[in-house]
Amino acid sequence: MPKRKLDPLPPAAFQILLSLADDDLHGYGIMRNVAEQTGGRMRLGPGTLYSSIQSLLEEKLIEEIEAGEGSKPGQERRRYYRLTPAGRKLARAEADRLADLLRVARTKKILRGDYV
């Protein structure tokens, strides 16, 4: 089966990078953040979430960190994830690509706002 290449970045992976832009989060935090930033459209299931996380970790686009300060002794261990500089760079590149796409859509008159 042909595998999805890094370029284009799969939407789920891009959303995960975006969700980590402000804060380090654990899996459920990422899932909720992604749902919020996509207006509920993308609700990552455990399989998609963790296989994406696995790939992002392998590419060193995110890194695993020790459990957040909020966790108490005895509480179940949760893995938190943080965006790496490379991940931030890739997310920015992807955002730029989408911005380019929007510009094209405008010149093709698909988007309102720019006459002709």
Partner 1 sequence: MSEKVYALLLRLYPADFLREYGEDALQLFRDRYQDETGFFVRLRLWWDLLSDLAVSVPGEYSGREGVFAGGLPSFQILGNESPHPAALLVGALLTLASLGASSLVPNGTPRWGQLLQASTVADDGNPDAAMHNRLIDQVIANVREHYFDQNLANQMADALREHQKRGDYSRVTDDGELAGLLTRHLRDVSHDMHLEVVYSRETLPNRPQGPTPESQTRYRQEMEQANCTFEKVQMLPKNVGYLKLNSFPDVSACESTAVAAMASLNHADAIIFDLRENRGGFPDMVSLIAAYLFDHPEYMYNPREAPTERSWTKSPVPGNRLADKPVFVLTSASTWSGAEQFCYDLKMLKRATLVGETTRGGAHAGVWRRIDDHFGMGIPEVRAINPFSKADWERTGVVPDIKAKASDALQIAEQLAAAPRSTTHSAALLPGLRSAHR
- Point out which span in 17-25, 54-62, 67-75, 84-92 binds partner 1 (CB under 8 A): 54-62
- Binding partner 1 (rule: CB under 8 A), the pick from 42, 63, 67, 71 is 42
- 26, 82 contact by CB (below 8 A): no
> Is residue 90 close enough to count as binding partner 1 by CB under 8 A?
no
| Selected range binding partner 1 among 17-25, 46-54, 65-73, 82-90, rule: CB under 8 A | 46-54
Which residue lies nearer to partner 1 by CB, 57 or 88?
A: 57
Residue 76 corresponds to which tokens in the numbers above? 């179940």
Minimum Å distance from CB 69 to partner 1?
Answer: 19
Q: Facing residues of 80 across strands?
A: 26, 65
Place of tokens 């509920």: 40
Q: Which stretch binds partner 1 (CB under 8 A): 17-25, 67-75, 83-91, 104-112?
A: 104-112
In angstroms, the Cα distances linking 12 to 1, 97, 100, 109 are 19, 16, 20, 28
Cis amide prior to 8 (ω within 30 degrees): yes
How far apart CA 106 and CA 38 sit, in angstroms, is 22
Contacts with partner 1 by CB under 8 A lie at 1, 3-6, 10-13, 27-28, 31, 38-39, 41-55, 58-59, 76, 78-79, 98, 101-102, 107, 109-116
